[in-house]
Chains A and B, each alone.
Chain A
Amino acid sequence: MNWNAVGIALMLAVGVVYPFILPGYMTVGITILLFVGWATAWDTLGGWTGQVSLGHSFFVGLGAYVVALGQNRYGLAPWWTVLLAIGAAAALAYVWGRITFGLRGPYFTLSTIAFAEIFRLIAINEKWLTGGATGVFIASLPEPFGIDLFSRWTQFYLALAFAIVSVGLVALISSRKLGYELRAVREDENSAMAAGINPTAVKLKAFMLSGALTAVGGGIYGIFLSFLEPHVLFNVLLSVQIALTAIIGGRGTVWGPAVGAVLLVVAGEVFRTTFAQANLLIYGMLILAVVLFLPRGLVGELSRRLVRRRYARSIKS
């Protein structure tokens, strides 16, 4: 029984009917789906490969700006600019990773924060590149087959597609060579090398995949916002949210980040009514809880217990 396929089918089914059942909650729905996609994309680097990045909002901003500026300045439709964003993200991730992969764990993380901050400053100050701090407004978008890209319904289905592709990709690689190479590198680089794996090449692949996927979500996010400001898109808090979503949900699992996204976005919305802006409070409390009591995240702890139980049962028979 391929549970991953079942899960994705379920996601598709729920996603397709959602706008009809909860038409008043489209923004929440889009947010959930974007975070499912982003957290899962982040996790290919942060969970499967074990390199915690707190700079992923850079890729979000990259995707959003490439789509927006491509449309505004060159009249390029989003389906072309998204491809461009993927290429740019992969290329930048390659360079970024090449430079920083020599750094051990927490120091790599610190470097991602520093890099993302530098990019944010560039985005704010280089008007010729990004329109500066005043932001960029997407005035018009093409209408493929008469579909209105500004409509929340369209954006929802785009985000749904993004989330499904993200989770689907991870599900695919999880049982294949690449998925295992990632985990081997995370667990022990020396053993991985002894098994014929080139750790740097693997980490770079993960970074490029992670960045490119995140940028796709960023492009959709850009269309959703339609008004882009650097401090919103290249925000370290967004990076932190994405990372924590994956960690709380469960790193290195196919569904952990998705579960984390649903949980945290919904909880955030619930908190928003009582705590206004401080919905990140719940992220703080949950990550503490996870570090102290559930180090593998919700889904991670659950699946570990299942694996043990399955093995125990198999030797009894």
Chain B
Amino acid sequence: MSGDLIPFLQNVANGLLIGGVYALIGVGLTLIFGVMRTINFAHGEFVVLGMYCAIVFNQALGWDPYLSLVIALPAGFLVGVLVQRLVLSIIGDAPEESSLLATLGLSLIIANSLLLTFGGEPKSVLVPYASSTITMAGEVYISVVLLLAGVATVVAIGGLYLLLNRTEIGRAIRGTAENRLGAELVGINTKRVHAMVFGLGTMLAVAAGVALIPLLFASPTTTGGVFTLKAFVVTVLGGLGNIGAAIGGGLLLGVVEVLGASYLTSEYRDAYGLIAFILILLFRPQGLFGRTVQRV
């Protein structure tokens, strides 16, 4: 009995930790959609930008990825704000399809610019503690890298919670999300809120990229798409626009992927999330917890 339990707990633990990072990515996406009704197809590319940021600083200065957050976070925020100001705000209230296409274009631009700058070879960051583990309850081994990612996730989401619920800006954001017109009537500068929110969303994505890079190889043109898709799976699982649900969705995806790969065939690891995604779109479009996708 306990022979099966340990590996199972191991898997669940791993799944939760990696799910935390997925949650981070998903929260960024769902925040953007919830406040701006924008479908950000370039979200995964921002994750990749975070990855390359860590790679660059690691190769040039030997920095640990988490150290490069000092640069990556503000840079990510800034890029997000710029993108929103220069591109997305022009689209304004046009149908969601426009933002989908515009951000699709952005994702191609970012991905291919990265390709031109860094070449096509997959890159990663090898940290000295890459194979270290911590043991919990005597028998469950948790990789230090994953654990750090989990910590980063908690810190980031905790910070976001504080921002949204304890600050003036947070109130403005929540107001705009609920009712844009109403928010403007009470004097909230929704344009500034939109720019901020997009910046926040991309910042979270960048942070996730930094946390992930010790775990995998980044390839300029394919990795972004993978994470964009995962982000959508996560947010739809939870319900677009619902942050708490995105967290739940992320954790769920992480666990489903790890368990699915262990107990069922591992080649279809990515497929489980996709199938769940389609099923939810079809049968419970409001997500497992939330309410947004509308059916015809």
Direct touch of chains A and B (CB < 8 A): yes
Expressed in whole angstroms, the Cα–Cα distance for A247 and B108 within the complex equals 15
Interface size on A, residues (CB 8 A): 44
What 0/1 readout, one digit per residue, does chain A (277-317) give for beta carbons within 8 Å of chain B?
Answer: 11111011111101110010000000000000000000000
Q: What CA separation (Å) do A111 and B87 show in the bound complex? A: 26
Q: Is B112 a contact of A284 with CB atoms below 8 Å?
A: yes
Binding site for B on A (CB under 8 A): 52, 99-107, 109-111, 113-115, 117-118, 121, 124-125, 189, 236-237, 240, 244, 247, 275-281, 283-288, 290-292, 295
Q: What residue in chain B is nearest A286 (Cβ atoms)?
A: B105
Residues in chain A near residue B100, CB distance under 8 A: 52, 106, 109
Can you pick out 21 interface pairs between chain A and chain B where the beta carbons lie within 8 Å of each other?
Answer: A100-B282, A103-B293, A110-B277, A114-B233, A117-B274, A118-B271, A240-B108, A275-B116, A276-B116, A277-B115, A278-B113, A278-B116, A281-B113, A284-B104, A284-B109, A285-B105, A287-B105, A287-B108, A290-B101, A295-B94, A295-B98
**A165-B148 Cα distance, complex, nearest whole Å:** 58
Q: In the complex, given contacts A105-B96, A125-B268, A288-B102, what are 19 additional A-B residue pairs having Cβ atoms less than 8 angstroms apart?
A: A105-B97, A106-B96, A107-B281, A110-B281, A114-B278, A117-B270, A117-B274, A240-B108, A276-B116, A277-B115, A277-B120, A281-B116, A283-B105, A285-B109, A286-B105, A287-B104, A288-B105, A292-B90, A292-B91
**Contact mask B86-126 → A, CB, 8 Å, 1/0?**
01001100111110111011111101110110001000000
Alpha-carbon gap, A290 to B39, bound state (A) = 17
Interface residues in B210-252 (C-beta closer than 8 Å to A) = 221, 225, 229, 232-233, 236
Interface of B is mostly: helix
The answer on a CB contact under 8 Å between B107 and A284 is yes
User: Any chain A CB within 8 A of the CB of B168?
Assistant: no
Query: Distance in Å from the Cβ of B108 to the closest Cβ of chain A?
Result: 3
| Residues of B with C-beta under 8 A to A288 | 87, 102, 105-106, 109
Q: Does B296 contact A (CB under 8 A)?
A: yes
B101 x A280 contact (CB < 8 A)? no
> Closest CB of chain B to A46's CB: distance in Å?
11
Q: B112 to A278, Cβ gap below 8 A?
A: yes
